[in-house]
Homo-oligomer: A and B are copies of this chain.
């Protein structure tokens, strides 16, 4: 039995990443209705809005998850809310999950922590998490400046733990899902792909910028400081790249990017996978195509095994 399915209640082990402001019930319910797992963000810090979004998902009866970005939570209100609300699956991120694991598990919630390195994965395993989201360097958004690719990091973590692993970074379809499963993952998480999804609430300019980007159209920014991020190339991010540093004020205009469509108001977060996204699709198209392609590729590899050949 696939443990990610057991922990989440989803039909397919395909998660939608918890992008701040974006990962709310409109997107998450579309993903969950299509058989994947929608996740509601709380990194926006908008506690009441996020709780309302969580309640909508609870009311829908669909499987879903909530992300708790530990360092960004101003108090324990969201943790308490999540523990008391009947939620089944939580991903934690941005900090040590040590203090969150006990209350979440006591509430019957499966806890996966997002890790960018083997060292972080080993600490989380010790802290008693139920699984790991392996966040690799090709992905978008907040990154560890010590870059390790999906191919390498999945293997390194798989060697050291039996926990279920969800691969994140560079994945938009069934090709990369099959590759991730070959490397020992039991699930995948897609961020950029679902930002450029029909049900995503972001402005058409942001979706089009992802669709038009090539695989070399992102920057890793602020690698010498924090937060280090991967974002689309733009005149604005070019200036940050050349400056080498980025202050917290860089994000002030993030909602103007997301919902106003001003692609120079702040860094528009995206992964290298933007270069693999060529059209806006519905969540259902993305998920059904991913599953079909995953099984077609797996069957092709199975043929190689049964003939001990290479193609």
In the assembled complex, the CB of A175 is this many whole angstroms from the nearest CB of chain B, namely 5
In the assembled complex, the CB of A197 is this many whole angstroms from the nearest CB of chain B, namely 19
- Pairwise interchain contact B148-A272, C-beta atoms closer than 8 A: yes
On chain B, the residues within 8 Å of A137 by CB distance are 149
Asked whether any CB of chain B lies closer than 8 Å to the CB of A301, the reply is yes
- Pairwise interchain contact A152-B179, C-beta atoms closer than 8 A: no
Pick from A17-25, A70-78, A97-105, A181-189 the stretch touching chain B: A181-189
On chain B, the residues within 8 Å of A184 by CB distance are 175
On chain B, the residues within 8 Å of A304 by CB distance are 181, 295, 298
* A183, B136: Cα distance in complex, Å: 17
On chain B, the residues within 8 Å of A159 by CB distance are 276
Taking a contact as CB atoms closer than 8 A, the residue among B5, B118, B215, B301 that contacts A215 in the complex is B118
Interface size on A, residues (CB 8 A): 62
- Pairwise interchain contact A152-B170, C-beta atoms closer than 8 A: yes
On chain B, the residues within 8 Å of A178 by CB distance are 179, 182-183, 301
- Pairwise interchain contact B297-A182, C-beta atoms closer than 8 A: yes
Q: Which of A5, A152, A175, A220 has the most CB of B within 10 A?
A: A152
- Pairwise interchain contact A215-B152, C-beta atoms closer than 8 A: yes
Q: How many copies does the complex hold?
A: 2
* A165, B306: Cα distance in complex, Å: 22
On chain B, the residues within 8 Å of A155 by CB distance are 175-176, 276
Q: Which of A5, A118, A138 has the most CB of B within 10 A?
A: A138
- Pairwise interchain contact B311-A1, C-beta atoms closer than 8 A: yes
Interface string of A296-311 (1 = CB under 8 A from B): 1111011111101111
* A292, B137: Cα distance in complex, Å: 29
* A311, B294: Cα distance in complex, Å: 13
Closest chain B residue to A156, Cβ basis = B215
Q: Which of A118, A119, A308, A311 has the most CB of B within 10 A?
A: A311
In the assembled complex, the CB of A61 is this many whole angstroms from the nearest CB of chain B, namely 23
Asked whether any CB of chain B lies closer than 8 Å to the CB of A279, the reply is no
Q: List 21 A-B contacts (CB under 8 A).
A: A2-B309, A2-B310, A5-B310, A13-B310, A118-B216, A119-B214, A147-B147, A152-B273, A155-B176, A158-B175, A179-B182, A179-B183, A181-B301, A181-B310, A186-B311, A187-B310, A295-B305, A297-B301, A301-B301, A302-B302, A302-B303
Interface residues of A (CB under 8 A from B): 1-5, 12-13, 117-119, 136-138, 146-153, 155-156, 158-159, 169-171, 175-176, 178-184, 186-187, 214-216, 220, 272-273, 275-276, 295-299, 301-306, 308-311
